């Protein structure tokens, strides 16, 4: 099983790159081939797809792209690796996350090959998972405070934005974190 490939890009095509490592060439299907330069070294995080006729390797220069790609493939029924790659070719990672968080299935409907039902399925089936993927609080007290603030009626998006500014390296109580966040949220 491949997890990571580090090597020099020997060749580029519309959909893939050829990476040379110690004289062996690996063809990787990539979401953003226009952002990759021939002759330069890259690290690719790999998603493998085993099929009857062979193995497809999907390469991502950012680990978070690979993780989101995996969520699409593994958690959304009807989305295979090639469809997920098409989504990535038409939407950046942050656009995908924002569309899911806002329930904006129409953004996905604009991707070739994605119908309205599939677009809605992406939003519904990843809606709960995407929050864990996007913003993982750094400690349990921050998570507890975040959940408490959301249950008090603050939007998840604004709470997470405020808690990004909180220095979670300090040993703070849940109460201190909540006070910090409410003070920030009331100034907005």
pLDDT value of residue 159: 79
* Residues 155, 110 share a domain: no
- Band of the pLDDT at 187, cuts 50, 70, 90? confident
Question: What local confidence, expressed as pLDDT, does residue 112 receive?
Answer: 93
User: Contact at 8 Å (CB) between 129 and 75?
Assistant: yes
Q: Distance (Å, rounded) from C-alpha 125 to C-alpha 121?
A: 6
Together in a domain, 114 and 148: no
Q: Which domain holds residue 89?
A: 63-134
Q: Work out the average pLDDT over 102-126.
A: 91
Residue 45 shares a structural domain with residue 81: no
Number of domains in the chain: 3
Average pLDDT, the chain: 85
pLDDT of res. 171 = 60
Query: Do 33 and 74 belong to one domain?
Result: no
pLDDT digits (tens, 9 = 90+) for 56-85: 999 999 988 999 999 999 989 889 999 999
Residue 103 has pLDDT above 80, yes or no: yes
Q: Does residue 129 share a domain with residue 148? A: no
Q: What is the pLDDT of residue 8?
A: 93
Residues 104 and 74 both lie in one domain: yes
Average confidence (pLDDT) over 33-48: 92
The pLDDT tens digits of the residues spanning 138-174 come to 567 777 787 778 778 787 777 777 877 776 666 678 8
Provide the CATH number for the domain around residue 15.
2.40.50.140
The whole model's pTM is what? 0.68
Whether residues 121 and 171 share a domain: the answer is: no
With CA atoms as reference, report the closest residue to 56 among 77, 83, 78, 95. Answer: 83
Residue 14's φ and ψ, nearest 5 degrees, are -65, -30
Q: Which two tokens stand for residue 47?
A: 């998603």
Answer yes or no: do 50 and 22 share one domain: yes
Query: What pLDDT was estimated at residue 131?
Result: 63
- Provide the Cα torsion 50, 48, 59, 106; round to 10°: 80
Per cent of the chain over pLDDT 90 is 43
CATH number, position 156? 1.10.8
Tell me: do 121 and 146 sit in the same domain. no
Residues 112 and 160 in one domain: no
Give the residue, 102 or 58, on which the prediction is more confident: 58
pLDDT at 154: 80
Query: Would the pLDDT of 137 be above 60?
Result: no
Q: 130: domain CATH number?
A: 1.10.150.20
Which of the listed residues 60, 82, 107 is the one where a domain comes to its end?
A: 60
Q: Assess whether 75 and 30 both reside in one domain.
A: no
Are 117 and 75 contained in the same domain?
A: yes
């Amino acid at each position: 099983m491949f997890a990571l490939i580090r090597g020099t890009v020997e060749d580029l095509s519309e959909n893939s790159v050829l990476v040379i490592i110690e004289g062996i060439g690996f063809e990787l299907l990539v979401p953003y081939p226009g952002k990759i330069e021939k002759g330069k070294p890259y690290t690719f995080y790999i998603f493998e797809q085993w099929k009857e006729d062979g193995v497809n390797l999907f390469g991502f220069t950012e680990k978070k792209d690979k993780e989101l790609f995996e969520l699409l493939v593994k958690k959304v029924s009807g989305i295979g690796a090639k469809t997920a790659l098409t989504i990535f070719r038409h939407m950046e990672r942050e656009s995908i996350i924002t569309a899911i968080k806002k329930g904006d299935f129409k953004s996905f409907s604009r991707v070739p090959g994605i119908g309205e039902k599939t677009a809605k399925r992406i939003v519904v089936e990843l809606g709960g998972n995407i929050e864990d993927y996007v913003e993982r609080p750094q400690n349990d007290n921050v998570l507890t405070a975040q959940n408490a603030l959301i249950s008090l009626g603050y939007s998840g998006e604004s709470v997470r934005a405020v808690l990004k500014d909180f220095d979670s390296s300090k040993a703070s109580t849940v109460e201190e974190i909540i006070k910090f966040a409410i003070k920030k949220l009331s100034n907005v």
